[in-house]
Amino acid sequence: MQCTKCNSDNTQRLEVVYENGTQNINTQSHSAGAGIGGSFGIGGVTTKTSGTSQTVLGERAAPPMKKSYKWPVISMIVGYFLLSSGGGILAVGAVLIAAGGYFAYVAANYNKSDWPALYQHWQECWLCNKCETIYHQP
């Protein structure tokens, strides 16, 4: 595959660049301690860390993301509790439920109709390692 800008053959699919630039992190550490106060105590703790580390190039090559339902659902839950509590905040609860429902609908519609084509386009894109151009090659 040759770059459409500089004709270099030093190219990679974006999917490969993204996967090579992304690492999952899972670590665990143990600590112990002792203390003297009103009495003597010994304790220990285990900490776990997990997440993702990504290079700048890996982030640049990331696929299009689906829209999340997190905030619409939180909005609807808060709205429900405001409606349940009664008082002068019924209108706020109703607005939060309606807004959450609307944004959940928008996210579902995007994830069903727009995202698949965007993801397919991303799978057909390449990165030139010489001039850093990202181009589409079906």
Please report, as a single letter, which amino acid is at residue 69. Y
The helix/strand/coil state of 65 is coil
Token couple for 76: 């609807």
- The contacts of residue 77 (CB under 8 Å, 6+ apart) are none
**CA 80 to CA 92: how far, in whole Å?**
10
Its pTM stands at 0.72
Token couple for 123: 């799978």
List the chain pLDDT tens, one digit each, 138 residues.
Answer: 899 999 999 999 999 999 999 888 889 988 888 887 777 788 888 889 888 888 999 999 999 999 999 999 999 999 999 988 877 788 899 999 999 999 999 999 999 999 999 999 999 999 999 999 999 998
Token couple for 125: 């894109």
Q: Nearest Cα to 97, choosing from 112, 109, 84?
A: 84
Domain ranges of the chain: 11-136
Token couple for 52: 């993702």
